[in-house]
Structure 1
């Protein structure tokens, strides 16, 4: 570009301005992506004049790493799961945030502010059931394990994370004590023993869409499920309900790719997407909780009842311990895979 001399310098200024007013935002697509487009992307484009391109990905950090190492950045803002945020930050994949460019720290819920990220929304894995099929509604994981009280198959995601915590709660461990128990070899053995009790009744799911499908089809009487998937099924007229006792919640985070040429626009996008109005709008569309206290305050009781971090639903919930799973995830997932294959 430096070797080109334009006859009209104004053209260069216009081109430069146009290039500056663009942003690429990366998320997981699906119903979540649709809700983000309606609540965040389109209103931000209208308010800022910035063109936002949305890219879907599977959460793998490999492409982000390749971009940063090559110093050829084509993504700007990325929706990152909690387990990947810390690793990505330590590896230099994401910018360390200047929070003064986003908002007031006091306005955000606990756990939503990190060195390289700010919470995008709160989601959970919870116990879900078809209220048209069950005469007795389950109240928690003890009921999930009680095949005499509520006969039938149960759905669980085919992985250790989440299931070990559910098993301990079914075995009487209080939500607040789950990770202190799971941090011991005896606690891990206890969780696997409890899972073994239920194993003949388990139907595994791997994709998030399968859990509500199993319920609607009658393949299972209860299942663990992403709460947003259950909310989407309810909007389609299915009488699926959630027992929030013992749900495991976590946050997705907004992160800015290290070295982006669109840093200022990235900050503006995150500030908008975490503002009270935008987070409340998003929550109404998919049932994932706002990270902004002002967003929570904007919601009515009916909407709050569907959110993992409403004052009522979070009382007996467990915040997923990302550090625990970073430290022990590989060994526990290997043990789980061996156990599940027997």
Structure 2
């Protein structure tokens, strides 16, 4: 039998509808979808599983598999080629803002993810922030009895003699230099780069520039430096093991970590449900207790053990004298500032 074009079109349309119906029936009767969560790996991945993913799977029967490490370039390539295999992807720092601007993420469904009690600085249209960490000053309690009180003390070699350790990166260092030079936190941005680099020149000869987060606390324990700039969780990792270290929170720099749903994710609706688990304050407390971060829900800290609370960035006594890194500013100016930083640091090491 010969089939004309009109008959062929009808048959094709019917076949398509039949295939769609069969797929929907198979989905309804078959296995639930499997979600892929891309993250940092290591201890953070295990904390995410324990606090959020395992609970989600237990409640819904939906399996969540993890992959690592994070890779912003891969995220962009997936979305650009319409070949997304991740349903959730961790993103941090200014990449939270970058991914939103580049339209790489699905909007957060506020009907599913309740962020009504989140801290304001952790709410983004297309990313879910579940934790906050801080860049702080660490010191050895066997070297100094009194804690340094902010960045002016960090620059004070008479009061706190000895070498310093700072990250080989412009973010926070430039702000710290301006704070040490008398700039108020609310007046930091836009950064006065000439003033900041000039202030850094004062301590550069006595500073070790680290590149790995485990270095600053270890440099303090080994007595190689007197004061070190580092991430609060890294200092706490040695404190809980009995190392004679302490954290000076005054002047600390707060920054959120985020998770987003890549645009075109195969299981976006289920991914929104996972984010709802990550927005729960009790779940955040479990995660933050293992990583020594603060939850972004205002009540998350209430569910953390009392002895651990003073080591969290948003513990009230810690938070009151800290400031938030301006992610928008660093996204807009980060490349040019980093280029200037790299030339400057090379000159210091030359």
**TM-score of the aligned structures, taking structure 2 as reference length:** 0.87
**Which runs of structure 2 are paired with 1:1-342 in the superposition (5 Å)?**
13=26, 17-20=30-33, 22-58=34-70, 60-103=71-114, 105-180=115-190, 182=191, 187-342=192-347
Per the TM alignment, residue 266 of structure 1 is displaced from its structure 2 partner at its CA by 0.4
Per the TM alignment, residue 284 of structure 1 is displaced from its structure 2 partner at its CA by 1.3
Change (3 A) 1:271 1:149: same
Aligned partners of 1:136 and 1:150 also within 8 Å: no
Cα RMSD, aligned residues only: 2.3
Gaps of 5+ in 2: 1-14
Per the TM alignment, residue 300 of structure 1 is displaced from its structure 2 partner at its CA by 4.6
Aligned residues: 329
Per the TM alignment, residue 214 of structure 1 is displaced from its structure 2 partner at its CA by 1.5
> What does the per-residue CA deviation read over 1:86-141, in whole Å, with 9 as the maximum and x for residues that have no partner?
221222211122211111x4221112221111212111111111223333432221
Aligned partners of 1:125 and 1:226 also within 8 Å: yes
> What does the per-residue CA deviation read over 1:288-307, in whole Å, with 9 as the maximum and x for residues that have no partner?
11111231232354322111
Gaps of 5+ in 1: none
Q: Distance in 2 between matches of 1:258 and 1:239?
A: 47
> What does the per-residue CA deviation read over 1:22-44, in whole Å, with 9 as the maximum and x for residues that have no partner?
11112212332232222222222
Q: Distance in 1 between matches of 2:152 and 2:66?
A: 42
SS at match of 2:157: coil
Change (3 A) 1:17 1:224: farther
> What does the per-residue CA deviation read over 1:275-329, in whole Å, with 9 as the maximum and x for residues that have no partner?
0111111121111111112312323543221111122211111100011111221
Change (3 A) 1:55 1:15: farther
Q: Distance in 1 between matches of 2:27 and 2:275?
A: 25
Q: Which is further off, 45-54 or 114-123?
A: 45-54
Change (3 A) 1:38 1:258: same
